[in-house]
Amino acid sequence: MSILLMLKTKTLKFISAVMLISIPLLVAAQTVDPGFNANNLISDSAFSDTQTFGGAAGIQKFLQIKGSVLANTDPSFLVELKEPSITMLKQSLDDPEPNLSYLRTAAQLIWDASQSTGLNPQVILVTMEKEEGLVDQQYATPAAAQTAIDHAMGFNCGDNVSCWNLFPGFYYQLFGNLDSSGNRYLGAAKSLMKSFSTAGGRGPAYNGSVSKVGQVIVLDNTLGGYDNIPAQENVTLSDNATAALYRYTPHVFNGNYNFWKFFQAWFKYPNGTLVALAGGADTYVIEDGSKQLIPDFVAQARGLNITGKVTISPNEYADYPTGAVYAPVDNTVIKTPDGQTYVFLNGVKHPASTFVISQRGLSAASALAVNSSDAGLFTSGTILPPKDGTIIRGQTQPAVYLVQNGEIKLFSSFTFNQNKIKPKQIVLVSDAEISTYTQNGLVPPKDGSLVKTQGSNAIYLVQDGLKHAVIADIFKNQGYKQSQVGTITSDEMSALPTAAYAQPKDKTFFAVDSKAGSLYEFKDGVTHPISAFVAKQRGITPDYVFTTAVFVEWFGGVPVPPRDGTLVKGDADGTVYIVKNGQLLGLSADQFKAGHYSVKKIVTLPQAEVSSYAKANAVSQ
| Tens-place pLDDT, residues 68-111 | 999 999 999 999 999 988 888 899 899 999 988 889 999 999 99
- pLDDT average, residue stretch 252-263: 94
Q: Any idea what DSSP says for residue 506?
A: T
User: Residue 309: which region, alpha, beta or left (left: phi > 0; alpha: psi -120 to 50)?
Assistant: beta
| pLDDT band at 207; cut points 50, 70, 90 | very high
pLDDT of residue 443 exceeding 90, the answer is yes
Are the C-beta atoms of residues 584 and 620 closer than 8 Å to each other?
A: no
What pLDDT, on a 0 to 100 scale, did the predictor assign at position 19?
37
CB 153 within 8 A of CB 188: yes
Q: What is the mean pLDDT of residues 307-328?
A: 86
Q: Which residues contact 450 (CB under 8 A, 6 or more apart)?
A: 459, 460, 461, 462, 470, 480, 484, 485, 486
Band of residue 18 on the pLDDT scale cut at 50, 70, 90 = very low
34 has a pLDDT exceeding 80: yes
Closest by Cα among 66, 72, 459 to 288: 66
What is the structure's pLDDT at 28?
Answer: 52
Q: How confident is the model at residue 575 (pLDDT cuts 50, 70, 90)?
A: confident
pLDDT for position 275: 92
pLDDT in tens, 95-154: 999 988 889 999 999 999 999 999 999 999 999 999 999 999 999 899 999 999 999 998
Q: Is the pLDDT of residue 619 over 80?
A: no
Model confidence pLDDT, tens digit, residues 498-557: 999 999 999 999 999 978 889 999 998 889 999 999 999 999 999 999 999 999 988 888
- Which bin fits 282, alpha (ψ -120 to 50), beta or left (φ > 0)? beta
Residue 510 pLDDT? 97
Helix count and strand count (H, E) for the chain:
23, 33
Per the model's pLDDT, the better-predicted residue between 288 and 136 turns out to be 136
Percent of the chain whose pLDDT exceeds 70? 93
Tell me what pLDDT residue 2 has: 28
Q: Is residue 246 over pLDDT 60?
A: yes
Cβ-contact 80, 147 below 8 angstroms: no
What's the pLDDT score for residue 29?
Answer: 66
Give the CA diameter of the chain.
94
- Average pLDDT over every residue of 567-572: 94
User: What percent of the chain shows pLDDT beyond 90?
Assistant: 69
Closest CA to 550 of 490, 445, 460, 471: 471
How much is the pLDDT for 583? 85
Q: Is the pLDDT of residue 1 over 50?
A: no
- Statement: residue 284 has pLDDT above 80: yes
Give dist(CA 290, CA 377) in Å, integer. Answer: 17
Q: What is the pTM of this model?
A: 0.60
Q: Which residues of 95-131 are buried (b: 16+ CB within 10 A; e: fewer)?
A: beebeeeebbbbbbbbbbbbbbbbbbbbbbbbbbbbb
Cα–Cα distance for residue pair 282/291, rounded to 1 Å:
11
pLDDT digit string, tens, across residues 329-377: 999 999 999 999 999 998 999 999 999 999 999 999 999 999 999 999 9
Least Cα distance to 523 among 511, 508, 533 occurs for 508
Through-space distance between the first and last CA atoms of the chain, rounded to whole angstroms: 23
Give domain limits for the chain: 44-265, 274-319, 450-495, 508-551
Q: Which of these ranges, 12-26, 339-353, 392-406, has the smallest mean pLDDT?
A: 12-26
Q: What is the mean pLDDT of the chain?
A: 89
| pLDDT reading at 390 higher than 90 | yes
Convert the pLDDT of each residue in 593-618 to its tens digit.
999 999 999 999 999 899 888 877 54
Question: Distance between CA 32 and CA 359 in Å, rounded?
Answer: 58
pLDDT band at 272 (very low <50, low <70, confident <90, very high): confident
pLDDT at 167: 77
Question: Which residue type sits at 211?
Answer: S
pLDDT computed for residue 325 by the predictor? 95
Compute the average pLDDT of residues 165-184: 84
What pLDDT does residue 182 have? 75
